[in-house]
Amino acid sequence: MNVLEVRDLGVRFGEVPAVRGLGFAVAGGEVLGVVGESGSGKSAAVLAVLGLLPPKAVVTGSVRLHGRELVGAPDKELTALRGKALAMVFQDPLAALTPVHRVGAQIAEAVRVHQDLSRRQAWARAVELLDLVGIAEPARAARAFPHEFSGGMRQRVMIAMAVANDPDVLICDEPTTALDVTVQAQVLEVLRDARRETGAAVVFVTHDLGVVAGIADRVLVMREGRAVESGPVEEVFARPRMPYTRELLAATPRLDREAAVLRGVPRPPVPVLRVENLVKEYRRGVRVVDRVSLDIRAGETLGLVGESGCGKTTLLMEILGLAAPRHGRVVVFGRDTARLGRRDRLALRRDLQIVFQDPMASLDPRMTVHDILAEPLRMHRLPLDRVPELLRLVGLAPEHAARYPQDFSGGQRQRIAIARALALEPRLLVLDEPVSALDVRIRAGVVELLAELKARLGLAYLFVAHDLALVRRIADRVAVMYLGRIAEIGPAERVFSAPRHPYTRALLAAVPLPDPVAERARPRVPLAGETPSPAGPLTGCRFRARCPVYPGLPETARSRCAGEEPELEGQDGAACHHASGGAR
Amino acid sequence: MASFLVRRLVGYVVLVAVATSLAYLLAASALDPRANYADRSPRPPEAAVDAQLSAYNLNDKDPLLVRYATWAAGVLRGDFGRSWNGSPVNDDLARRAGVTLRLVGCGLVLGAVAGVAVGAVAAAGQYGWFDRLSTAVAFLLLAVPTVVLANTLVIAAVWLNDLTGVRLLMVSGETTPGAASLLDRVQHLALPTLTLALAMAAVFSRYQRNLMLDVLGADFVRTARAKGLSRAAAVRRHALRVALIPVVTYFAFTFGALLVGATVTESVFGWYGLGQQLVAAIRGNDVNTVAAISCLAALALLVAALAADLLHAALDPRVRVA
Amino acid sequence: MTTDVTTEAPVAAPAAPSRRRVVAGRFLASWRGRAGLALLAALFLLAFAGPPAAAWSFEDRDFLAFLSPPTAAHWFGTTQSGADVFVVTMHGMRRSLLIGLLVAVVSTAVAAVVGAFAGYYLGWTDRVLGWVTDLLLVLPAFLIIAVLSPALGQGAWLVMVGLLAAFMWMVTSKMVRGLAVSLRKREYVLAARFMGVPGYKIIFRHVIPNMSSLLIVDATLNVSAAILTETTLSYFGFGVRPPEVSLGGLIADGAATALYAPWTFWFAAGLLILTILAVNLAGDALRDAFDPASGGARR
C-alpha cells in the first residue's frame, strides 16, 4: 500500500522549470533514495511535496498522501499535516534550528502543535525523544541551545523533531552531507531506527551513491528535473540501464577497489617539505596542531585525511604562512622558515602554491580571468604572456581570459584556480579539498587533470581531503590526523589494505560503498561520539574516549592508554600502544 | 559574562572621560566668555574682568591645562564649576536633565516599539497594502528634518485649536504656569514626544523590515513551518524573535541622533531642557555649562550602550558564553 | 574518465552581462530608482540653472515688495527684507547639495579605509582604530561642531564639510570592519597572501572593491544624513555662515514668519524634503539592485 504517490510533478520558478513530469510512490516502511547532482531538482521536488517552496514557485501535477491530494490544498490543511503525517529533516542542522530557543523547547513545540499536552508533558516527551535519538544525558541536553551542540547532535535533534508525532512519511534532504563520515554513519543508524520505530515511508534525497546503497530499498536517479531511471537499489547499481546512471557510477570512487591514477614515478627521495614537531596554539594550552611531523619528497603525493576539527586546515595555514613557528620547524625546499628574510620568503612563495576547496570563493569575482592569472605574475615580475599558455595547460581556451569567474561552471573555475597556482611554476602544490565542492562527474575530470599536470611538470602534492576513496586513488603516502596529531602515516597501499590505528580502521569502515550488496554485507559498528574539543584536558591517548579497542583491553593495557601518549615512529606506523600489525 | 561586562564598562568609562576632556578643551579654547563683559555698560575695567573670570576658572589668560586640571578636579568631586555670571552649573542641571530625559524616554520607547511593530508587520506581508503604505510614510518621514517636522506640528496644532475653538494641544513649554494638572502636562507633552517618536519609528520600521526579510527566508523558519506551525506562528515565535537581536545593537547608535533631535524639539516647543540650555550656553560662551552637558551626553550614551549590551545578551544565548 | 572534458570543455554559460550593467538595469527597473534619479536630476538643474533665469540676483532687495506672496515677479515671494525667496532658496539648495555630496564621499572613503585596515589586520591595528572610532562615536558631534562653528569665520563651508565628514564615518566603518573580517578569510584573499602580495595592496585590490555595493549605498544615504545634520546646525545658527546660505538657515529664518507668510518657510522646507526623499529613494533602489537576494527573489 503506497502512502505517498507523486504523479507528473512539475515545479517552475518563474519561467525556469526545476522539476518536470516527476513521478514516484513510496510504501510504509520503505526507503526511496532520490539521487542527483546539484541542480537536478531533487530538493525542489521534495519541498514541493511538503508545500514549503517559496510562493513564487509554481507547482503542478499531483501529490497524494493516503489518496488525499496535496497540490493546491489550502495552507491550513497542509499546516495540519506538516509535522504530523509529513515530517522533514533538512541538510544544514545549524541553520535549520532557531538559534535563540532551547533544543528541548523546539522539540516540545513540535509535540504541542499536534498533541494536546501541557508544557510539562511536552517537555518530558522532548527529553524522551532526545534519548531515543541517542543523545547522552537527555534531560540536561534539552536545556542546551543549538550552538552548544556539534553537527551530529544537531542533526539528531532534527530527527527527534521529525519523529515527534509518529509521521507516515519522513522526508530527508541531504541529511548527512554536512557531517563527517563517522558521524554520518551514526546519523544513518539513527534514521534506520527512526524508520523502524515509526514505520514511516522515507524519501531520502542525496548526491552520495554510497549512502543510497546502504539505506535505500529503491532508488530514483534525477537529472535536470526529470527522473532518469528508477528501480530496486540492487538492480540499478548492478545493471544500470541508462548511460547517465552508468556514468555516475563509474565516476564514483570506490574504497574497496581503487586503482591509483596519480602514483608518482619513483624519484630520488629529495624532500621538498619537512615539518618537524610543529605546534600551533590558539589560546594558551589549546593546541590545534600538536607536534606534527611529516615530509614530502619531490614528485610525491601525500594525502592528508581527517575529520573536521582535526587541525588539518590549521596545519596547512601554518605551512603556507612561511612564518617562524612557535614550536617545531618547517623546512621548505631545504630552507628553515624561521630563518627567512622578507625577500627570501617572497622568493620561496614561487615554489609553494595552493588550490582551495571552494572555486566560488577562491577567485575574486571582480577580476577577469586574465587579471586573476596575472596577479601572481605581476607580483613576481614575470612576463604576462604566460596567461594564454596557462589556460591551455588546464584545458581552457585562451579566449576565456576576458571573462569573469561567474561565467564559468564549478569545474572550470577550479581549473582557473589551478592555473593561477601554476603561474609561478611551483614545485609543491597544496591542494585543500580541491574537488569536494564539485559534482562527482566533474570531480573525475579535475582529478585527471591533476594527475596529468603532476606527470608533466613533476609536481609534488600535499593533498588534503576527507574523501578516503579519492585519497586512495591519488596518494602515494597517507597521513591520518586526529585531534591535532597524526594518528597514522604510511604508504597508501599499506594504510588502506592494512590499517594499524583503530581510528584509521573506523574511518575506513564508515565510508559507504556505492554497492548495495557489499555495503549491506559489511558489519556496521559506527564509531561512538564525535571529535572532542582540543581545549579539553588531553592526557594519554587522545582517541581512547572513542576507541573501539580500548574498552576490551585488560586493565594494565588500559592504564597505559590513559597515562602515556602514544608516539608515532618514523614515516610508516601508527600512534597507538596497541596498533595491530595486520588485517582490517 | 560578568568579567566581560566589567571589561566593557571600564572601556566605556575611559571613553567617556577622554571624550568629556576633549569637549572641555575644545570649548575652553573656542568659546570666549570675556566677550560677555565687553557689551556691558559701563564697561568694567580689564583687571576686574580678569579677576572675575579667574575666579570662575574661565580666564583665557590662564594656561589651558591649568584650567583643565582645576575643572577636572571639580568634576571628580561632582562640581561642574560656574557659569560666566557666577551661578553654579550644577544648580539647574538635574532639573533640566529630568525634562530632557522625560522627552527622550517617551519618544524613544514609543518610537522604537511602534517602528519595530510596523516593520515586522510590513515584512510579514511584503508588497501588501500595509507594506506599501508604511514604506511610503516612512520614506516621507525620513526626508523631513526634525526642525521642519516640529514646526509643521506647531502650525498644524495652532490650526486645529483655531478650528475646534478649544486649546487641545499646547505648543509652548512643559506646563501652563499655575495650571499644572496631569491633563495639562499630557497636552504639552504630546507634540514634542510625537516629533521625536515619528522620526524614530520611521528609522526603526525600515531597519526592522529589512532584518525581518532576511530572516523570513532562513532555514529555521522553514523548519518551524515543517513542524506544522502556521505561518503567523512561525513568523512570531521564530523569525521576529531572531530579527529583534540586531535592533538592540542599533539602538545604541541612534541615541546620539536622538539627543540632537531633543535639542531641536526643546527649542521649538520651548522646553527648558538640556538641549535648549546647550544652545544658549554656546551662544553665551558658557564654557563650563557646555562641558557639563557634553559629559552628561557621553554618560547617557554609555548607559545606552551598556543597556544595549545587556539586552543583546538577554536576547541572544550565543553571546552569553563569549 | 573523460566524461568531464566532454561535458565541460565548451564553455557552458554564455558570457554573462557585466555586473555594472545588471545593477544599472535593476536600478532603473524599480520605480524608486527612476523616481529618485529623475527628482535628483531635476533638483540639480533647478539649483544651478534656476537663479540665472530669474530676474533677481542673490544680493538684490526689492524695496517695493517686502514679504510679498508669490507673484509673477517673485516666483516664490519675498522675505521681510525684500530678498527674492526663489533665488535665495536656489542658492541655499546649491550649497546644501554640494555639502551633502562632498561629505558623503569623504566620510565613506574614510569609513572604507579605516574599517578595512582594522578588519584585515586585526590585532593592534584593530584595537587602535576601533578605539578612535568609539571615541568619535561618544563625542557629541553636534556639540563639537556647534562650539567650533563661531571660530570658523566667514565662508569656511569647506571646513564645515570636513567637520561633518569627521563625525559621520564611524557606523559605516564598523560595518566595513565586520565585512573585512569575513573577507580576509575568503580564499581569494588567502591565495593573494600566499603568492606574496602585501597586505595594503590586498586591501585596495581585493577587500575594498568587494564591498563596493555597501559603500555606494552607504555614500548615497550619507548624502541625506549630511544635509539633515547641516540643516539642524544652521537652524541654530551654527552651520554655514552668512553670506553663504543653506536650506537649514532659510528654514530657521522662515519658521519665524511661517504662520502668516507661509512661502518664506514652505518652499525651502519642501525642496529640502524633496532632495532627501530623492536621495533616499535612489539609495534604497541601489541597495536592492546590488543585493541579488532582494527584490523579486525575496519572498
The answer to whether A161 and B229 are in contact (CB under 8 A) is no
How far is residue A517's CA from residue C74's CA, in Å, rounded to a whole number? 94
pLDDT in tens, B87-125: 888 888 888 888 888 888 889 889 999 999 999 999 988
What is the least distance, in Å, from the CA of C288 to any CA of chain A?
A: 18
Using a CB–CB cut-off of 8 Å, the residues of B that contact A are 217-220, 222-231, 237-238, 241-242, 245, 315-318, 321
Return the closest-CA partner of residue C91 out of C247, C211, C228. Answer: C247
Q: Does any domain span residue C14?
A: no
Nearest to C1 among A356, A412, A444 (CB): A444
pLDDT of residue B257: 77
The answer to whether C103 and C168 are in contact (CB under 8 A) is yes
Return the closest-CA partner of residue B93 out of B293, B311, B244. Answer: B293
Does B137 reach chain C within 8 Å, measured CB to CB?
Answer: no
Residues 6 or more apart whose CB falls under 8 angstroms from that of A515 comprise A213, A237, A254, A256
Cell readout for A76 is 491550513
Q: Which residues in chain B are closer than 8 Å to A165, comparing Cβ atoms?
A: 228
Phi, psi at A114, each rounded to 5°: -110, -15
pLDDT at A203 over 90: yes
Nearest to B227 among A92, A148, A161 (CB): A161
User: Mean pLDDT in runs of 10 for chain C (299 residues)?
Assistant: 36 51 81 88 85 71 72 73 79 87 93 95 93 88 84 74 91 91 91 92 92 83 87 84 79 78 82 88 82 44
Q: Which residues in chain C are closer than 8 Å to A56, comparing Cβ atoms?
A: 296, 299
Measured over the CA atoms of residue C237, residue C239, residue C241 and residue C243, the dihedral's sign is: negative
What is the least distance, in Å, from the CA of C6 to any CA of chain B?
A: 37
Return the closest-CA partner of residue C63 out of C53, C74, C47, C54. Answer: C74
- Say if strands A31-35 and A86-89 run parallel, antiparallel, or are unpaired: unpaired
pLDDT at A259 over 70: no
Cell readout for A26 is 513510496
How far is residue C148's CA from residue C230's CA, in Å, rounded to a whole number? 14
- Position with higher pLDDT, A96 vs C6: A96
CB pair distance less than 8 Å for C139 and B23: yes
How far is residue A312's CA from residue A484's CA, in Å, rounded to a whole number? 8
Q: Does any domain span residue C264?
A: yes
pLDDT at A263 over 60: no
Q: Which residues in chain C are closer than 8 Å to B152, comparing Cβ atoms?
A: 269
Return the closest-CA partner of residue C107 out of C181, C178, C145, C162. Answer: C162
CA distances in angstroms from A493 to A265, A477, A572, A573, C136, listed in the order given: 15, 8, 12, 13, 63
pLDDT at A584 over 60: no
Give one DSSP letter per residue of A385-402, joined into a string.
THHHHHHHHTT--GGGGG
Total domains in the fold of chain C? 1
**Residues 155-194 (B) with a CB less than 8 A from some CB of C:** 155, 158
Instruction: Report the amino acid identity of residue A564.
Output: E
Cell readout for B168 is 487641545
**Residues 499-538 (A) with a CB less than 8 A from some CB of C:** none
Q: Which residues in chain A are closer than 8 Å to B220, comparing Cβ atoms?
A: 95-99
pLDDT of residue C146: 87
Residues 6 or more apart whose CB falls under 8 angstroms from that of B260 comprise B146, C142, C229, C232
Enter the DSSP assignment of B173: S
Does B217 reach chain C within 8 Å, measured CB to CB?
Answer: yes
- Say if strands A86-89 and A169-173 run parallel, antiparallel, or are unpaired: parallel
Q: Does any domain span residue C1?
A: no
pLDDT in tens, A14-55: 888 999 999 999 999 999 999 998 888 999 999 999 999 888
Beta-bridged to residue A230, according to DSSP, are A220
- Inter-helix orientation angle B241-269/C212-235, to 10°: 20
Look at chain C and count its residues: 299
pLDDT of residue C17: 53
Question: What domains does chain B contain, in order, with CATH numbers?
Answer: 89-283 (1.10.3720.10)
Look at chain B and count its residues: 322
CB pair distance less than 8 Å for B144 and C273: yes
Q: Does any domain span residue C12?
A: no
CB pair distance less than 8 Å for A88 and B226: yes
What is the least distance, in Å, from the CA of A132 to any CA of chain C?
A: 36
CA distances in angstroms from B306 to B91, B299, C173, listed in the order given: 28, 10, 21
* Geometric angle at alpha carbon B96, from B93 and B100, rounded to 5°: 130
Cell readout for A367 is 577580476
Of all residues in chain A, what percent carry a pLDDT higher than 70?
97
Q: Does any domain span residue C3?
A: no
Task: State yes or no: cis peptide before A426, omega within 30 of 0.
Answer: no
How far is residue C27's CA from residue C37's CA, in Å, rounded to a whole number? 10
CB pair distance less than 8 Å for A356 and C12: no
Closest-CA residue of chain B to A48: B226
- Position with higher pLDDT, B269 vs B5: B269
Phi, psi at A345, each rounded to 5°: -65, -45
CB pair distance less than 8 Å for B229 and A79: yes
Cell readout for C114 is 579605516
Residue B194, CA atoms < 13 Å, CB-side half-sphere? 18
Task: State yes or no: cis peptide before C243, omega within 30 of 0.
Answer: yes
Q: Lowest-confidence range among A59-63, A106-110, B157-161?
A: B157-161
Helix, strand, coil tally for chain A in percent (to 5): 40, 25, 40
Test mutation, C133, C138, C291, chain B, max B CBs within 10 A: C138
The answer to whether B283 and C129 are in contact (CB under 8 A) is no
CA distances in angstroms from A89 to A85, A172, A205, B267, listed in the order given: 14, 5, 10, 60
The answer to whether A350 and A426 are in contact (CB under 8 A) is yes
CB pair distance less than 8 Å for C191 and A366: no
Does C72 reach chain A within 8 Å, measured CB to CB?
Answer: no
Instruction: Report the amino acid identity of residue C286.
Output: L
CB pair distance less than 8 Å for B148 and C272: yes
pLDDT of residue A265: 56
What is the least distance, in Å, from the CA of A584 to any CA of chain C?
A: 30
Q: Does any domain span residue C290?
A: yes
CB pair distance less than 8 Å for B27 and C236: no
Cell readout for A158 is 532534527
What is the least distance, in Å, from the CA of C16 to any CA of chain A?
A: 6
pLDDT of residue C11: 41
Q: Residue C32: helix, strand or coil by DSSP?
A: helix
How far is residue C188's CA from residue A360's CA, in Å, rounded to a whole number? 9
The answer to whether A370 and A377 are in contact (CB under 8 A) is no
What is the least distance, in Å, from the CA of A490 to any CA of chain C?
A: 28
Tell me the whole-structure pTM to 2 decimals. 0.84
Q: Which helix (H) or strand (E) holds A489?
A: strand A485-491
Does A254 reach chain C within 8 Å, measured CB to CB?
Answer: no
Residues 6 or more apart whose CB falls under 8 angstroms from that of A448 comprise A261, C1, C2, C4
Return the closest-CA partner of residue A149 out of A68, A70, A94. Answer: A94
Burial class (CB in 10 A: 0-12, 13-18, 19+), A110: buried
Question: What's the rounded mean pLDDT across residues A51-65?
Answer: 91
How far is residue A225's CA from residue B49's CA, in Å, rounded to a whole number? 90
The domain spanning residue C171 has which CATH number? 1.10.3720.10
Measured over the CA atoms of residue A26, residue A30, residue A36 and residue A38, the dihedral's sign is: positive
Averaged confidence pLDDT in chain A: 89
pLDDT of residue A428: 94
Give one DSSP letter per residue of C156-168, joined into a string.
-HHHHHHHHHHTT
pLDDT of residue A421: 94
Phi, psi at A18, each rounded to 5°: -105, -35
* Geometric angle at alpha carbon A353, from A349 and A354, rounded to 5°: 140
Burial class (CB in 10 A: 0-12, 13-18, 19+), C127: exposed
How far is residue C155's CA from residue A209's CA, in Å, rounded to a whole number? 75
CB pair distance less than 8 Å for A90 and B230: no
Q: Does any domain span residue C4?
A: no
Give one DSSP letter per residue of B228-297, joined into a string.
T--HHHHIIIIIIHHHHHHHHHHHHHHHHHHHHHHHHHHHHHT--SHHHHHHHHHHTT-HHHHHHHHHHH
Test mutation, A244, A364, A408, chain C, max C CBs within 10 A: A364
Instruction: Report the amino acid identity of residue B276.
Output: Q
pLDDT in tens, A145-184: 999 898 889 999 999 999 999 999 999 999 998 888 888 9
Cell readout for C11 is 564553455
Test mutation, B215, B222, B223, chain A, max A CBs within 10 A: B223
Strand spans (E) along A68-195: 68-69, 86-89, 169-173
- Say if strands A201-206 and A31-35 run parallel, antiparallel, or are unpaired: parallel
How far is residue A339's CA from residue A347's CA, in Å, rounded to a whole number? 14
Q: Does any domain span residue C73?
A: yes
Q: Which residues in chain B are closer than 8 Å to A161, comparing Cβ atoms?
A: 223, 227
The answer to whether B4 and B306 are in contact (CB under 8 A) is no
Phi, psi at A353, each rounded to 5°: -130, 170
Range of the structural domain that residue C39 is part of:
21-294
Chains near B, with 3+ CB pairs < 8 A?
A, C
pLDDT of residue A157: 95
Q: Which residues in chain C are closer than 8 Å to A313, comparing Cβ atoms?
A: none
- Inter-helix orientation angle B219-227/A151-163, to 10°: 30
Nearest to A113 among B227, B316, B321 (CB): B227
Question: What's the rounded mean pLDDT across residues A346-368?
Answer: 89
